[in-house]
Structure 1
Amino acid sequence: MSLISYLHVVLTTRLAEVRRDGERGDSPVPTAVIIFGLVFVATIVTGLALSKANDWMTNIPTHTNPK
């Protein structure tokens, strides 16, 4: 139980520190770079999903080629 209490105190303290710092300031990574990274990863994931779906669809037997 003391571990849970300790984690609660640590989390509460950290959240209070984050909320107290109202000045968010400049990010070390520009927003445009973050957005580009997200779009890049989303494109890769979509391409992989499309590739897997096409592979799956080509393995479905047809009436002329039952497996």
Structure 2
Amino acid sequence: MSILTYLHVVVTTRFAELRRDAERGDSPVPTAVIIFGLVFVATIVTGLALTKARDWMNAIPGHANPK
């Protein structure tokens, strides 16, 4: 039973430390992970927009690319 008590104290203490310093802007998620996520989503959205635009242009009868 002592291992459960120890783990409970460790987890509770860590959560208290994270909550205590909330005003300083500390985050449990590193900034690099957030930036990678934003770049990943932007790449997906840009790819989908490009695909939709190409499909739309190819649906026009007699469409020819400009020279």
When the two structures are superposed, what TM-score results if normalisation uses the length of structure 2? Answer: 0.56
Q: Give the count of matched residue pairs.
A: 43
Identity of aligned residues (%): 86
Alpha-carbon RMSD across the aligned residues, in angstroms, is 2.2
* CA 1:22–1:30: 2 relative to 1, 3 Å: closer
Q: In structure 2, how many angstroms separate the alpha carbons of the residues matched to 1:33 and 1:49?
A: 24
Per residue, is there more helix in 1 or in 2? Answer: 2
Q: Which runs of 4+ in 1 moved over 2 A?
A: none
Instruction: Give the Cα–Cα distance (whole angstroms) in 1 for the partners of residues 25 and 46 of structure 2.
Output: 34
Q: Structure with the greater relative contact order (CA < 8 A, sep ≥ 6): 1 or 2?
A: 2
Q: Normalized against structure 1, the TM-score is what?
A: 0.56
